[in-house]
Structure 1
Amino acid sequence: MCRCKKAESDIKVVIAVNNSLIEKYNEENETEYAELSPSLYSLSSTEVTIKKGEREALIPINLKPDQFTFDEDYAIGLTIKSVSAGVISGNFGNIILNLGAKNFFDGVYKYTTSATTSLVPNANKTVKLVTVGSNKGSLDPGLLGTYSNEVVYTIDVATNQITVACPSLGVQTPQDVRSVYDPATKTLKVYWKQAGGGRTFEETFVYTGPR
């Protein structure tokens, strides 16, 4: 929590969870943030002191990301209830914290395609895999790192095999069993065909860092 001017004396600040802020924000901004269940986090304290000469103080939030379902954009709304001195700022009195979790392969990747890949052969670019589930990642940008078509990769955590979903093109089944994830190098090698076999795609993703 922060204030614009340096505190002239120690200021005790009391905060409270106020998730009504989330509903209001969603209505005003056409977003779909979901309230994070209280069972998935705790505030280390609801009181903090901004020391004399300082502008801010921190309140750690303890999260349990291993229990997130990854199917929502989570948020927590916080409100400053009272201060021991001064006036609560209209700009900083309320805050919404977006707490989107990331799965184990979310990140930035070097992306290449084979010479025989349809539409965009011999690609060599940077893309992102964005969490859409505990073991699912959406290609950003979309198909072949070029088009807007959504493509989602699912990694079976027991076998490391990968399956592909592309709603606009469809995917031929059964899917290619060569599609695998190497957790040691965080590399995905993916082979798939458009439904009906019209187009063939061979992709390699090599992890370079978090997004």
Structure 2
Amino acid sequence: MKRINFKYIIGLLSLTLMLSSCLDEDPMMDPGQSEGIIELFDISSLLSNPTGNNFPHIYDNAHDIAEEGRSFNIIVSHSGTNAAPEDISVEVEMDLDLLNAYNAELEEYNLEHPDDEEVLLQLLPDSLYSIVGQDDFNAFIPRGERKDSIEIWLDTYHFNPSVKYAIPLTIRSASSGTISGNFYQALYVVSVRNAYDGEYRNEYVSNISGYPEGTNTIELTTTGEFSVVMGLIGVYSNEVFIEVHADDDWDSDTEEGRRRNPVTVECPSLGTVTTDGSSYWDNETETFYLSWYTSGGYVFEQTLTKN
């Protein structure tokens, strides 16, 4: 078993540099005396690039699995001191070359960091989204305004939960203003999360030498509509899969048992796993109670409480 190699990213410094360059890309430029900057920018969902590069900028949009779908906005901004001095038309296009270049960087990163592998992105299929109220990604910023919001509807109910999709976009032209040299391209990552996805307080007992018991924080990540994956006891990188049998009652004879669902655990790297019948998910307290052991003799007890 390998210990988790946690990433250390100096996000604040990178973000400060990006914001500074966004509004003043030329140190000799006075934003108050120049054209506004046209860019793809939304601070609320900006992520650090796992490869360590500043470009392309990545915006993360994780959504619930829902039959009615979910929506998010792509922001095309007129940045600077003043609002748009006139109506501005902005040509924005899907850019497959941008996505391919980024995935090539990720592949190189994964070769250099085998214990910290990043998932490659897949182009979001046309069947899984629509652009609300228009046929393309082009934007229109009215005079006196600072941005245009392009609404994207996502058919999250039919997403593959194990896939990270992406919409790669590039600003090609603008009828007024200066196209940003930094934020003219962006990758909009879209994925789904189930009800069990999130951060948990993990209390464990095991018979692993050096880790007989402990408490830590652990991330559970969606792998299916009713399944998640985590690292072994929050210490090792071995993948542990939890499947919630949401259509079944843990105990149909009691009210308490009916609000609970049985679960099963798998850990392929440790061989065959047996999940004790006392294991369940409590819908009311959002807590996993796990008791499981492997064919190789490892034994685990865990209480995972959602933060």
For the aligned pair, the TM-score class normalised by the smaller chain equals 0.7 to 0.9
Partners of 1:185 and 1:60 in 2: CA distance: 35
Q: Which structure has more helix as a fraction of its residues? A: 2
**Which residue of the partner structure matches residue 124 of structure 2?**
36
Partners of 1:58 and 1:72 in 2: CA distance: 26
Are residue 62 (structure 1) and residue 137 (structure 2) matched?
Answer: no
- What amino acid is the match of 1:203? Q
Are residue 149 (structure 1) and residue 221 (structure 2) matched?
Answer: no
Partners of 2:216 and 2:197 in 1: CA distance: 17
> Deviations along 1:119-138, whole A, 9 cap, x unmatched?
33442222110112222212
**Which residue of the partner structure matches residue 162 of structure 1?**
263
Tell me which of 74, 77, 91 is aligned to 1:2: 77
Are residue 105 (structure 1) and residue 196 (structure 2) matched?
Answer: yes
TM-fit CA distance, 1:87: 3.7
TM-fit CA distance, 1:52: 4.4
8 Å CA contact retained: 2:266, 2:273: no
**Which residue of the partner structure matches residue 200 of structure 1?**
299
> Deviations along 1:27-71, whole A, 9 cap, x unmatched?
133261001111111122434333446543321211121211112
Identity %: 36
Partners of 1:178 and 1:83 in 2: CA distance: 62
> Deviations along 1:120-178, whole A, 9 cap, x unmatched?
34422221101122222121xx21111222212122222232121212212334x3222
**Which residue of the partner structure matches residue 104 of structure 2?**
27
Correspondences of 1:72-111 after superposition (within 5 Å): 72-111=163-202
Q: Which runs of 5+ in 1 are unaligned?
A: none
Q: TM-score, normalised by structure 2?
A: 0.59
Q: TM-score, normalised by structure 1?
A: 0.84
Are residue 180 (structure 1) and residue 280 (structure 2) matched?
Answer: yes
8 Å CA contact retained: 1:164, 1:171: no
Matched position secondary structure for 1:57? strand
**Which residue of the partner structure matches residue 189 of structure 1?**
289
- What amino acid is the match of 2:77? C
8 Å CA contact retained: 1:35, 1:74: yes
Partners of 2:162 and 2:228 in 1: CA distance: 12
TM-fit CA distance, 1:185: 2.1
TM-fit CA distance, 1:89: 2.7
**Which residue of the partner structure matches residue 11 of structure 1?**
88
Q: Which runs of 5+ in 2 are unaligned?
A: 1-75, 108-118, 249-260
8 Å CA contact retained: 1:36, 1:75: yes
Number of residue equivalences = 202
Partners of 1:29 and 1:145 in 2: CA distance: 25
Matched position secondary structure for 2:147? coil
Matched position secondary structure for 2:236? coil
Matched position secondary structure for 1:100? strand
Matched position secondary structure for 2:187? strand
Partners of 1:180 and 1:2 in 2: CA distance: 48
**Which residue of the partner structure matches residue 118 of structure 1?**
207
Partners of 1:172 and 1:59 in 2: CA distance: 47
8 Å CA contact retained: 1:171, 1:192: no
* CA 201–147 in structure 1, closer or farther in 2 if over 3 Å, else same: same
8 Å CA contact retained: 1:152, 1:166: yes
